[in-house]
């Protein structure tokens, strides 16, 4: 039984519920979801029908734990869809191997629209097509499809010689079918 502030019992259908949806515990877990590092999604097992992310997983230090957690909260038949900048893309290699603060400053100077969009720490844990396909299957997803895109992004457009070299590179890896050198990945996985 839940008690109202004055110590009087509340009606059971309203017990612990709020207009914004869910119990107090569920609301608290959802509020805390965006604070700091999280190992657990603020959802119950089998609660979600779909999980979608865009340019998120490259910023996650432990992708296997994240994928296992997605599998936990998805309903059977639920879908996880992720658009991911790939680990072995030219910009991914630069972000991991170069002086990150300098690279971020260069990007923000050359591409004003990147300010506030580009600059979060990157890990690229399991960031290739083959690694992600294997990981999602091992985590209990029954259908896993990984599409690749070879276009190396607009980071190189402001500098014409670099853009031309990058265009030749992406054409070559596409012709050779080197999926693990792709720039972007689209993961579509069904639980």
**Percent of the chain residues topping a pLDDT of 90:** 51
Give the total number of structural domains in the chain: 1
Domain extent at residue 119: 48-190
* Residue 23: per-residue pLDDT: 64
Residue 28 pLDDT class (50, 70, 90 cuts): low
CATH code at 101? Answer: 3.40.50
* 41 within domain boundaries: no
Higher pLDDT, residue 91 or 56: 56
* Residue 20: per-residue pLDDT: 45
* 3 within domain boundaries: no
* 35 within domain boundaries: no
CB atoms within 10 A of CB 54: 10
pLDDT digits (tens, 9 = 90+) for 141-167: 999 999 999 987 677 777 788 888 988
* 167 within domain boundaries: yes
Give the C-alpha separation, 6 to 29, whole Å.
26
Residue 27 pLDDT class (50, 70, 90 cuts): low
* 158 within domain boundaries: yes
* 21 within domain boundaries: no
* 37 within domain boundaries: no
* 75 within domain boundaries: yes
Residue 149: its H or E element: strand 143-149
**pLDDT at residue 127 greater than cutoff 90:** yes
């Amino acid at each position: 039984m839940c008690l109202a502030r004055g110590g009087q019992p509340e009606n059971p259908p309203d017990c612990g519920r709020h207009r914004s949806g869910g119990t107090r515990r569920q609301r608290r877990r959802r509020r805390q979801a965006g604070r700091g590092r999280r190992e657990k999604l603020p959802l119950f097992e089998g609660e979600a029908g779909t999980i979608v992310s865009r340019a998120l997983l490259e910023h996650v230090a432990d992708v296997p734990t994240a994928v296992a957690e997605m599998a936990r909260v998805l309903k059977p038949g639920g879908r996880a869809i992720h658009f991911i900048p790939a680990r072995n893309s030219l910009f991914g290699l630069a972000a991991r191997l170069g002086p990150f603060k300098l690279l971020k400053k260069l990007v923000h100077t050359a591409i004003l629209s990147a300010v506030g969009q580009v600059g979060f720490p990157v890990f690229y844990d399991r960031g290739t097509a083959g690694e992600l396909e294997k990981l999602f299957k091992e985590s209990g997803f029954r259908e896993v499809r990984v599409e690749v895109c070879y276009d190396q992004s607009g980071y190189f457009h402001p500098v014409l010689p670099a853009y031309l070299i990058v265009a030749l590179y992406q054409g070559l890896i596409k012709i050779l079918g080197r999926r693990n050198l792709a720039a972007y990945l689209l993961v579509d996985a069904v639980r």
